[in-house]
Chain A
Amino acid sequence: MSGYRLTSGGLIDRSRPLTFTFDGKRYQGFAGDTLASALLANGVDILGRSFKYHRPRGLFSAGVEEPNAMVTLRSGARTEPNCKAPVVELFEGLEARSQNRWPSLGFDIMAVNGLAGPLFSAGFYYKTFMGPTRKAWMLYEHFIRKAAGMGAGTQLADPDHYEETNAFCDVLIAGGGPAGLMSALAAAQSGARVVLADDQMEMGGSLRGTPLTVGETDGDAWCRSAVAVLSMLPNVTLLPRTTVYGYYDDNTFGAVERVADHLPVPGEAMPRQRHWTIRATRLVIAAGAIERPLIFAGNDKPGVMLADAVRVYAERYGVAAGQRVALFANNDGAYRTVEALAQAGVTVVAVIDPRPDIGARAEATVEASGAELLTGQVVTSARGGRRLTAIEVTPFDPASGVQDALPRSIAVDCLAVSGGWTPTIHLASQASGPARWNEDLAAFLPGDPLQPWQAVGACNGEFSTAACLAAGIQAGAEAARACGFTPSPISVPAVDAEIVCDSILPLWDARPAGHKGAGGKGKAFVDLQHDVTASDVSLAHREGFRSVEHLKRYTTLGMATDQGKTSNMAGLALMAHERGLTIPEVGTTRFRPPYTPIALGALAGQARGAHFRPLRRTPMHDWHLTAGADMMEVGLWQRPRVYRRDGESVEQAYIREARQVRQSVGIVDVSTLGKIDVQGPDAAEFLNRVYSNGFLKLPEGKARYGLMLREDGFLWDDGTTWRLGKHRFLMTTTTANAATVLAQLEFLLAAVWPTLKVAVTSVSEQWAAMAVSGPKTREVLAAVLDDIDMSNEAFPFMGVREGHLDGVPVLVARLSFSGELAYEVYCGAHCGDAVWRKIMAAGAAHDIVAYGLEALGTLRIEKGHVAGPELDGRTTAEDLGLGGMASRKKDYIGSAMMDRKGLVDENRMKLVGLISRDGQPVRSGSHLVLANGESPPRSLGHVTSSTYSPALEKYIALGLLEDGPNRIGEALVATYPLKGHNVDVEVVSSHFFDPEGRRMHV
């Protein structure tokens, strides 16, 4: 119990207490608190256990860089693991649980892992479970994953909803601190469209809660007035609680707005999070900087915190991080923490700085605080069990790194550390050349832009508020100018002089020289979240993993959910030291999106559940549902599979439907077929070049079945095309290829034959289409058609007629996919339901049956008509017995390449029919093998489509078989080894039923 609430100060509202629980225990905080500040105020020291060693860990930072304080929020379906306590806004009733501990946070059995330290050093798993012991992984994986991990998610469906939206602007500003706010003001007053996104609960960044005077007022009030001004401007969109996480091509950005995460549950109709796709002409990056820790033994003890976080908790949240605080820093900027603590009345015991000399202002600050100033010294280790109790301090020679005096112990319960600052260059590095090294700051700054952005403020190495404000004005104005606006000058508000981190003594490793590389006495951590120690880096170096990319992957440094925000620089520095190189020579890894973890729900947006993809419905959809159809997805389309009657199986239903079509009459919805309107003086010529068979001489009022090849000579699509006039055709395609055929026709007209006067337009949605089949079809249709002579003479096979069906304009074509007397009836889509019902009514006298995809398949298989399973992109017209339709007398798409050697090989697989000899169904996908051949058998082909045939009263199938037509009469086995399914089949002609086609010509 060390942290405590100060009696005054901070941006919290002490009149609005909030109750929350952590690991089931109730605590109180205030409105304006984060979960972290409230726990710190309640003196909660241990917030989690570490990843590998299960060491107790406390709060380390005050922002998104937090490596330790990861908690699971809420419960039930809203459980969310791995939330960083410093960015969780407190609300009434908030429920948080610690992670990676068992049975409890205070007593964790897995902490024995710490005693087995060397076991878990870098590469432990690779070394232990690869090679001969690999099988052991199978045995231990479950336990290891359980021991080393983060929080557990929930298996329940997320009850919240998420949205996505789009924004366009002239200037996007990422970061709402002093530089970002100033940029926004400067850009917005020019009239440019500005979006300002900031990831915190309120804009202001480092100015929030500071006593610093900006202009006429304190920093906090200045931020509030800047936000108030911006929110009045119609050309400005403010996005608080929004992280710009990714930088994509053409200045497109991904951002996530946490709309309702600060509420117990989202309000009615309120999304929990909203994903923004933002397209901006210019980007201003004002992303700030993240403080770096220092490396010494025990630097992960609860109570060791980043110095600026200690200041932020005091100034912004009115919380003291400890009762006896020491500062260990290598730069002047960190002395602001001493200033803030002294102001708040918190005892600062000592200030330890490796530099022999520090700035006068810093020195005066320490003196005023009453702390002991120990320059030229370092902290070599932190002591304590569940909480920091003491530090050991020793003189240090910055030139040699030698520490030869005996350490002195100082009792403290909080150590604020600062190793300088790392500019947040993540976003910039996604669209820049290599990062630039700045020697004074010992930091990487953004590289040269590859897209139109500029960086300002701390992320650009400008650490003082005054510099941020000045740079912000300049960047905002410049960005607006680049978008064609004329900004007028704005003056920079006056700012108090601050202690600024303008140079640091690069000190990366404060361990005594003798202990470096040998494990040290007590672990010194580089990456707190992944439990990577300084010794692990040395080990990686010794084992040859020397490039930063290898170091990262071998040790997992920087690969945790914080992506190494506090650890990357130290890791690079240690490796540089090992290799005797400078940090810029070692180089840095490139940052990839996202900057912070984002919920998958936010990426999915509305596209989940029933809205995962849109559904496409035919005009008769509601009728099918009312009739009890089993609907199935065909692409995006919903189509009836079977119309089951009481107690029927799918098989019984389709057999009944198919049988009724052959016996009397049936109707099927074929509205999903692709329909393309082809018009123009050159329409016939165009079709003649697209189809493999002739279309020039197709008479008006006639339809023709056509085949389309690909340029490479393989079969692509089939369908009928109807000549409605001299220059007007209606082309139909398969359902599956409707979109690609249209795109290909458009391509040919644009790129290949631009002089042809032809227009193609999708009319798939214009027409409702139904096929009526069966011996009674003529009688049924004649009863409802007003003005079409249905006699065989007047309306022959393949004829097309325009007329009316009970007053509704229709197109009727005499086509047959089922092999029966059949007609396709097309009408305006809005009339489809009515026309369908009229035909059903007229057919009632003949027991007309509506049939689905299964029966449609049965009927066409009985006829040996090919469909999608046979048109699989690997078959030729010849393979499917359609070679006669591939003209030799004209040029068309595919004609030049269809006669290549491999495509005319006699042994190619060709279409055959198959009949089950043992009464078993033949599974589609089965391989065709010899009954008593070699073992394992060689595949001679495969089954493409199968069904029970009510006409033959047998299970039948279509298949592709090597040299198929010459094998008719042979006995083979259709084998499906995955299911152990073998059926004896006989090879027959694919024309199972009515091979002469008498039935459709009556």
Chain B
Amino acid sequence: MLIPCPHCGPRDVGEFTYGGDATKERPDPGSAGAADWCDYVFQRENLRGTHLEYWHHAQGCRLWLRVRRDTVTHKIEAAEIVGPWAAATVRETGNDEGQDVA
């Protein structure tokens, strides 16, 4: 599996560490109740299909990425930088980006 890192370009999945479900948002400690925390820390869907997940480019630029991946085909539809640099200039990708199938 190749993950298209916005900074480094497409890289083998072995350079990345999986960071789990990227749809979960950390509750506001000021207002959240036990159920909110339980949901954030423990509850996970086991989705068939498109999944939004965190991947850490630990052996590369060390950016955390939000990756949209199909759990059936492993096809990665998008990868974007998480956090303050989300709007940063990203690496141009080559013409091989399209995964069109003949």
Contact = CB atoms under 8 A, between A and B. Distances in A.
Judge A-B direct contact (beta carbons within 8 Å).
yes
Interface residues of A, number: 35
Interface in A430-487: 449-454, 478, 482-484
B96 A483 contact: yes
B52 interface: no
Interface in B19-70: 19, 22, 26-27, 29-30, 32, 34, 37, 40-42, 54, 56, 58, 62-64
Given A712-B41, A896-B29, A483 B95 contact: yes
A249 B14 CA distance: 13
A750 interface: yes
Given A249-B74, A250-B1, A895 B102 contact: no
A747 B29 contact: no
Interface stretch (A544-552, A650-658, A751-759, A865-873): A751-759
A749 B82 CA distance: 9
A763 interface: no
A281 interface: yes
B63 A891 contact: no
B76 to A, nearest CB: 8
A277 B99 CA distance: 19
Nearest to B81: A750
Interface in A881-909: 891, 895-897, 900
A755 B102 contact: no
A512 to B, nearest CB: 48
A746 B62 contact: yes
A755 B54 CA distance: 19
B101 interface: yes
A754 B84 contact: yes
A750 B64 contact: yes
A802 B85 CA distance: 34
A895 B41 CA distance: 13
A743 B41 contact: no
Contacts of B41: 711-712, 897
A750 B83 contact: yes
Interface string A805-841: 0000000000000000000000000000000000000
B17 interface: yes
A118 to B, nearest CB: 46
A392 B50 CA distance: 61
Contact of A452 (B1, B63, B99): B99
Contact of B56 (A450, A453, A711, A743): A743
Given A249-B74, A751-B54, A896-B37, A450 B95 contact: no
B50 to A, nearest CB: 16
Contact of B101 (A451, A739, A751): A451
Interface residues of B, number: 35
B73 interface: yes
A173 to B, nearest CB: 15
Contacts of B92: none
A342 B26 CA distance: 81
A252 interface: yes
A269 B74 CA distance: 39
Contacts of A752: 26
Prevailing SS type, chain A contact patch: mixed
Contacts, number: 79
Given A711-B40, A712-B41, A749 B83 contact: yes
A452 B64 contact: no
Interface centre among A482, A746, A750 (most CB of B within 10 A): A750
A249 B82 contact: no
Contacts of A383: none
B16 to A, nearest CB: 11
Interface string A751-795: 110110000000000000000000000000000000000000000
A279 interface: yes
Interface centre among A250, A279, A752 (most CB of B within 10 A): A250
B82 A751 contact: yes
Interface string A672-709: 00000000000000000000000000000000000000
Contacts of A747: 19, 54, 56, 64
B30 A450 contact: no
A279 B101 CA distance: 16
Given A452-B100, A751-B82, A897-B41, A743 B74 contact: no
B2 interface: yes
Nearest to B62: A746
B40 A746 contact: no
A250 B102 CA distance: 14
A453 B10 CA distance: 20
A428 to B, nearest CB: 12
Nearest to B4: A250
Nearest to A485: B95
A749 B64 CA distance: 10
A94 to B, nearest CB: 39
Nearest to B64: A750
Interface centre among B27, B40, B95, B102 (most CB of A within 10 A): B102
A281 B42 CA distance: 39
Contacts of B1: 248-250, 252
Contacts of A451: 99, 101
Contacts of B17: 743
B2 A279 contact: yes
Interface centre among A170, A452, A478 (most CB of B within 10 A): A452
B102 A478 contact: yes
Given A712-B41, A746-B56, A896-B27, A751 B96 contact: no
Given A711-B40, A743-B56, A895-B29, A750 B95 contact: no
Nearest to B13: A249
Given A449-B101, A450-B73, A746-B62, A891 B29 contact: yes
A758 to B, nearest CB: 10
Nearest to A739: B58
Given A484-B95, A712-B41, A896-B37, A751 B83 contact: yes
A478 B84 CA distance: 43
A478 to B, nearest CB: 7
B44 to A, nearest CB: 14
Nearest to B65: A750
A24 B29 CA distance: 79
Contacts of B102: 282, 449, 452-454, 478, 482
A91 to B, nearest CB: 37
Contact of B37 (A279, A454, A897): A897
Contacts of A743: 17, 56, 58
Interface in B73-90: 73-74, 81-84
A891 B28 CA distance: 10
B11 to A, nearest CB: 11
A754 B87 CA distance: 13
A472 to B, nearest CB: 15
A744 to B, nearest CB: 10
Contacts of A711: 37, 40-41
Nearest to A749: B83
Contacts of B29: 891, 895-896
Nearest to A760: B62
Contacts of A450: 73, 101
A750 B63 contact: yes
Nearest to B100: A452
Given A279-B2, A454-B102, A755 B19 contact: no
13 contacts: A248-B1, A250-B99, A449-B102, A451-B99, A452-B102, A453-B102, A711-B41, A746-B62, A750-B64, A750-B82, A896-B32, A896-B37, A900-B34
Closest 10 CB pairs of A and B: A750-B83, A891-B29, A750-B64, A250-B2, A484-B95, A281-B96, A249-B1, A750-B82, A754-B83, A249-B74
Given A449-B102, A743-B58, A751-B83, 14 more contacts: A249-B2, A252-B1, A279-B2, A449-B101, A451-B101, A452-B101, A453-B102, A482-B100, A712-B42, A739-B58, A743-B17, A743-B56, A750-B64, A751-B54
Interface of A: 170, 248-250, 252, 279, 281-282, 449-454, 478, 482-484, 711-712, 739, 743, 746-747, 749-752, 754-755, 891, 895-897, 900
